[in-house]
Structure 1
Amino acid sequence: MRENDAKAFVRVWKVMEMCYKILGEGKLVTQRELFYKLLSDSPKYFSCQRHVNQTIQDVVSLLRCTRQSLGIMASSRGALIGRLVLHEPEEEHIDCSILGPSGHAITGDLNQLSRLNLSSDARYLIVVEKRLAEDRLYNQIPCILITAKGYPDIATRFILHRLSQTFPNMPIFALVDWNPAGLSILCTYKYGSISMGLESYRYACNVKWLGLRGDDLQLIPQSAFQELKPRDLQIAKSLLSSKFLQDTHRAELTRMVETGTRAEIEALYCHGFDFLGKFIARKIVQGDYI
């Protein structure tokens, strides 16, 4: 057995041993917290966060379980705002429509998220790549806004999936930048993340691409377009090789690569700070999504 393979084998047992201790103590830890503990106890095998992340994925695949069942809690950057009330047993309810612009922070504890009772009079679920709460969009359109502020973490995907199961007739729309990273974010919500192994598809949702799309680019001034970066092209290459990418998404991505340009949602503000709400409402009413 090669040295690297032997170390990977030992790492699996070290992580399982640590998870056994965590569960025995009834605790939950993040992957970062687990890394520092393993770095202290077994520096020979865990010299970087990547070793821990990969080993956790191996353990999840080996045991066919979730991270949460191992006592590993998701780190979350996500937030919710809009026409949604959260009820946790024996706790005060949280009305997400009267919160400040940062919304309600999504906990990384999936057990806590699973205990929430959800009530809403919204008609739409809108996933946004960035924070748009300052627009008070949900006052213009009866909706719930959810964001992971970038690539979605497990906790944000989990609560989106719970919302989709609780309100099955509520369509889910995504508003992302017109660039390969924006499409990659949408695809993670829609299909899951390959890096999550067996957990990849667990929280997949039927997300429709509302914007930005090629047909919306006429609304953006030429000066607002940016050149694709090497990282964009790398993401595009990976997406184009995916068998899951639907034809309409592939066509959009191909157009990005061929033009070598990208555009951000914020570019729409050139029409005024109230334009975004009108833009979203028009596209929903006209059924302009894919």
Structure 2
Amino acid sequence: MENLSKSSLNFFADQQLCSADILSPLEVRARIEVSVINFLKILNSPDPAISDLPLINRKSSNSRVSQGLLTDVSWIFLSHSFCTRSLTKSNAAKAFVRVWKVMETCFQILSQEKRVTQRELFYKLLCDSPEYFTSQLQVNRTIQDVIALLHCSRFSLGIVASSRGLVAGRLMLQEPNQEVIDCSACGSSGYSISGDLSLLEKLDLKTDARYIIVVEKHAIFQRLTEDFVFNQIPSILITAKGYPDIATRFLLHRLNRAFPDLPILALVDWNPAGLAILCTFKFGSIGMGMEAYRYACNVKWLGLRGDDVQLIPEQSLLPLKPRDLQIARSLMSSEILQENYKEELSLMVHNGQRAEVEALYFHGYDYLGKYIAKKIVQADYI
């Protein structure tokens, strides 16, 4: 226990650490206890003062891009710029208190050996401290503050991900002490991805697939599974039903680690939102703060792309919305976006149009599998 306390004390001195550790409940509780002890020491000192909480700045201006020396995989991480939560500043006082409230609740959760979702945590805090917590967004941001203060992952805090994700195709998986699940026999609904990251980490995985295909939309995922495309193209299909949740990203990263030779290909709409979804899988996201890098994978852009617009009737192309243009500006300002992605984005904005994958049904409802197969044969992905 003495060594555990020393390691916890040491982590507070290392203010250059910009990643979130995966820790045991005992270690997280020790870090929370150390933070409380340090706070009380300051209050009981001869010159008492309430110090600010130094947190890693999670704004995009503090993001950096890292690329491995032996791989072309890049990911987003946070640099060494700090922000604070202060009890002495009126606009930050409640945020300061929220950090301690969330830490207190997480300590209780870990002591009881429980797990909660962010939504469950919100309702707990809303009932216990309604004067400080009035929205889910406040809770989500405070969780990131606690992660930044304690340098541990949200799962280590006892917070599990709510998952929307599904997986199907040439994948056999087995949870500990459970029967083997054949994801090719789960029907068009696929296998629901658990929000318990520790369970996903323990899955026994087997496959004879040659590709992993990330599908933006649930409806497209259903079409591909109903057509058994994973048998025509030996593949694993995975979807988050839109913007990727943590659990789906974690499973994709887990598959990538288990089967590093399988290319990961993304099928998304040809619009800024589709590209943003692809980039979240590929690079990580600032919204994940110090955990951003942990779920990044080397995803390739299969389609739709600018060259595919010729396959779609003019009347099926839709005008870009103001939200599309806003996303496009944000992506273009990112230093992580590679040049050929910027060219595609510029073409979208120049044309003022977007194309959805469903528009390919002009060629028949069985065309999607043929489209994917052709792109793969030609190695037409970037």
The alignment's TM-score, normalised by the length of structure 1, stands at: 0.99
Which among 324, 331, 347 is matched to residue 239 of structure 1?
331
Aligned counterpart, 2:242: 150
SS in 2 for 1:178: coil
Instruction: Report the residue type matching 2:162 in the other structure.
Output: S
In structure 2, the residue matched to 1:68 is 155
- Say what the alpha-carbon RMSD is for the aligned residues: 0.7
The residue number in structure 1 matching 2:228 is: 136
Note the 1:242-281 alignment, pairs <5 A.
242-281=334-373
Distance in 2 (alpha carbons) for counterparts of 1:164 and 1:196:
20
Deviation sequence 1:215-245 (CA, Å, 0-9, x none)? 1110000010001111111111110110000
Q: Which runs of 5+ in 2 are unaligned?
A: 1-87
1:11 lines up with 2:98 in the alignment: yes
1:14 Cα deviation (Å)? 0.3
Note the C-alpha offset of 1:4: 2.5
1:216 equivalent in alignment to 2:303: no
2:375 to 270, 283, 290: 283
Cα deviation, 1:121-177, whole Å, max 9, x if unaligned, reads 000000000122223210210000000000001100000001001001000000000
Identity of aligned residues (%): 68
TM-score w.r.t. the length of structure 2 is: 0.75
May I ask how many residue pairs the two structures share in their alignment? 290
Alignment of 1:15-26 (within 5 A): 15-26=102-113
Q: 2:262 aligns with which of 152, 170, 174?
A: 170
From 37, 59, 62, give the equivalent of 2:124: 37
Aligned to 1:267, the other structure's residue is in SS state: helix
Cα deviation for residue 75 of structure 1 reads 0.6
Instruction: Give the C-alpha shift of residue 88 in structure 1.
Output: 1.4
Distance 1:104 1:179 in 2: 28
**Separation of aligned partners in 1, 2:307 and 2:151:** 43
Amino acid corresponding to residue 142 of structure 2 in structure 1: T
* 1:186 aligns to 2:273 (yes or no): no
Gaps of 5+ in 1: none
